[in-house]
Amino acid sequence: MFTFEIIPVNIKDKQIIDNLVGFLSMRFNANISVSTKIALGEILKYYNESRGQLNALELLNNLQFKLISNPSSRFVIMINSDAYVEDIGDVFGISKPGWGGIVFIKRLNPIYYGYPFNVKIYTIRIIKQVVHELGHSLGLPYCNNRRCIMSYINNIFDLDNRLVFLCRKCQLNLERLHPGILKFIV
């Protein structure tokens, strides 16, 4: 059985974490745990002052040495910050096959776009981005289905227009890679 370890950093709203854990437990046969292994101070080393963003790739490369995964575990670091990758630009998340992913939730918050806070919209966007990065970390490539959460996303409109989960093809692909990982396939 898989273990997904969620590590929130600088996230005060506990409801968001509870909703994410609830969703992942509903869809995956996995132990979902929440821990506080990463302190904000460790993350801030990767903050680029001039951009006002975290360097996602440097952060990922360093966290891999701190958090050691095994074949049946994945990490999901959730950081209330904005991030970039050199030569790519702003990113909502980043992942590493076999290890896990990091999701940067600041630009998933409606407040970032001048809208009032809405916990439902915020939570759904976070779930989508977490499922996307988890999918990559479990071996799924990008999907050609524009509605699928594994399709390429580079703005908030694309994210909002995606399904909250994997398309049927990606679900079957995931089951082939990790038999029994999904509770059900639709």
Residues that bind Zn ion (CB under 5 A): 143, 145, 148, 150, 167, 170
CA pair distance 170, 115, nearest whole angstrom: 33
| Residue 24 beta carbon to Zn ion: minimum distance, rounded to whole angstroms | 18
| Residue 170 beta carbon to Zn ion: minimum distance, rounded to whole angstroms | 3
Q: Which has the closest alpha carbon to 8: 104, 135, 90?
A: 104
| Residue 90 beta carbon to Zn ion: minimum distance, rounded to whole angstroms | 14
| Residue 50 beta carbon to Zn ion: minimum distance, rounded to whole angstroms | 26
Residue 43 or 56 with smaller CB distance to Zn ion:
56
What is the residue whose two structure tokens read 């909250």?
164
CA pair distance 86, 96, nearest whole angstrom: 17
Residues 6 or more apart whose Cβ sits within 8 Å of residue 53:
47, 81, 82, 83, 84, 90
Residue 18 or 86 with smaller CB distance to Zn ion:
86
Residue 119 or 177 with smaller CB distance to Zn ion:
177
CA pair distance 142, 38, nearest whole angstrom: 29
Residue 52 or 97 with smaller CB distance to Zn ion:
97
